[in-house]
Amino acid sequence: MSLATRITALASRIGQEVKTKIDASHPGVAKAWVCFGYVSNQVVIRAAHNVASVTRLGTGRYRVTFASAMPNANYSWMAVALKTPNILGLQRLGIVRASGDTQTAQVLDVSCASPTAATDADEINLTVYR
């Protein structure tokens, strides 16, 4: 048996093992994600999984509504934002939850801010794990 044949057989076996261990219910698999931005005065969703909508609540504030609700509000999320043009020293965006923001099984509010104020972003990438 050639080395290439052995490597192919091993890769196939590993694939079968992984397939039986990781499915949609695995905690390491994202339960929802969305790539969106506020462009030309409207929210634009570029791609998403398990997200029904994204609504702008105000400058730099967004509500993500899940297509299928989470089991409860005890989930983890992370997000990053991009603002263009990327001028050296001026791009300081952060995704935060303000005290008035909501996190329920159905919706998640996120805010985007610079060091001095809330600001909209051209691209926000949000991922939810449960």
Domains parsed from the chain with CATH numbers: 27-129 (2.60.40)
Which of 72-81, 83-92, 93-102 shows the lowest mean pLDDT across its residues?
83-92
**Nearest 10 degrees: Cα torsion 58, 39, 47, 123:** -80
Closest alpha carbon to 120 in 83, 78, 65: 83
Q: What is the pLDDT of residue 100?
A: 76
The share of the chain scoring above pLDDT 70, in percent, equals 86
What is the rounded average pLDDT of the residues 46-70?
Answer: 96
> Using 50, 70 and 90 to split pLDDT, how confident is the model at 95?
confident
- Per-residue pLDDT for 89 more than 60? no
pTM of the complete model beyond 0.75: yes
| Cα(63)–Cα(125) distance, integer angstroms | 13
